[in-house]
Amino acid sequence: MLQDVSFSVGNGECLALVGETGSGKTMTTRVITGLVGRSGGRVVKGAVVFDGLSLVDAPSATWKQVRGRRIALVPQSSLASLNPVIKVGNQLRETIKTLNPHLETRRRSIELLDMVRLPKAADVMRLYPHELSGGMRQRVMIALALAGDPELLIADEATTALDTTIQRDILDLISELRTTSGLAVLFVTHDLGLVRRFTDSVAVMYAGAVVESGPTATVLEHAWHPYTKALLASIPSVERRGAPLVPVPGLCPAPHERGAGCGFAPRCSQAEARCHEQGPVLETAGGEHSVSCWLAVTK
């Protein structure tokens, strides 16, 4: 269940959505792409606005013009998302034909593979997904996402299974697309190191809500929320070499386990009585930096 989720992404900007498994990141992407209904969910309150167009309860004709064309998704697993018995070229050509029947599909497929820096694009077209490396499959997924010339690209854990070098190459590619075409990017990840290097702003999610948001440097260097601080303390750091990592105790609660107060209160060492009784709202902590925490609001 999502609640109090609010953020915006402008042309050429990259917003990171971070948080533990179960915090609501993927559910948020499903709402934005109109796919939440396929997993049994629905939007009962709030709005999703894309370039002035309201997408909540939008008819299928509207989604046909938006999904894949103006908003594109790169899912978590390229191996699971690509059809294993259809060659890469045929999958690309089918997608292009669906999105724009007037284009010459083979030429456009090669253009897209070249765009994502896959060498020997014509040869790659003849391969099956299992014949590609993880990095090559991820580039194919990006090519498929770019087939409709989208304005917003949602990358849902798109680099999680890749090694560090390939991760950097994929993110450099996305950064280049932002610069050259004004592509807006919503980058869903667990990796705060990647967030620091490749994003403009960040929204930290916990238990279905955004608990802290703002410019990336501000949030990571001057975190207010205890959960954000706990995430930062749990990752390796050169400055803390030799010091033990500090894991976040407990687990993110399921929707039916959430109480009336702050969702993080049961795991927070600083929680006060009111933290268990009433949940705070997202308030400005200075400039564009916002936080949902009683301790931050009172300081």
User: Is the pLDDT at 289 greater than 70, yes or no?
Assistant: yes
What letter does residue 250 receive in the DSSP assignment? S
Mean pLDDT value across the chain: 89
Residue 9: other Cβ atoms inside 10 A: 22
CA distance 184 to 217: 19
Specify the pLDDT at position 279: 87
| Mean pLDDT (whole number) for 231-257 | 80
Specify the pLDDT at position 297: 62
For the stretch 33-86, pLDDT in tens is 998 888 788 888 889 999 999 999 899 999 999 999 999 999 877 878 899 999
- CATH number reported for the structural domain that contains residue 45 in this entry: 3.40.50.300
| Mean pLDDT (whole number) for 82-109 | 94
Relative orientation angle of helices 134-146 and 105-115, to the nearest 10 degrees: 120
Q: What percent of the chain has pLDDT over 90?
A: 55
Domain-embedded: residue 209: yes
Domain-embedded: residue 100: no
Domain-embedded: residue 180: yes
Domain-embedded: residue 137: no
Q: What is the dihedral of CA 17, 18, 22, 27, to 10 degrees?
A: 10
Domain-embedded: residue 182: yes
CA distance 101 to 96: 7
Domain-embedded: residue 274: yes
User: Is the pLDDT at 196 greater than 80, yes or no?
Assistant: yes
User: Is the pLDDT at 149 greater than 70, yes or no?
Assistant: yes
Relative orientation angle of helices 134-146 and 164-181, to the nearest 10 degrees: 20
Give the domain range for residue 181: 14-70+150-297
For the stretch 109-120, pLDDT in tens is 999 999 888 999
For the stretch 202-220, pLDDT in tens is 999 999 999 999 999 999 9
User: Is the pLDDT at 298 greater than 60, yes or no?
Assistant: no
Parallel/antiparallel/unpaired status of strands 53-54 and 71-74? unpaired
Specify the pLDDT at position 161: 67
Structure-model confidence comparison of residues 259 and 141, the more confident one? 141
Domain-embedded: residue 241: yes
- Number of domains comprising the chain: 1
Domain-embedded: residue 261: yes
CA distance 223 to 171: 24
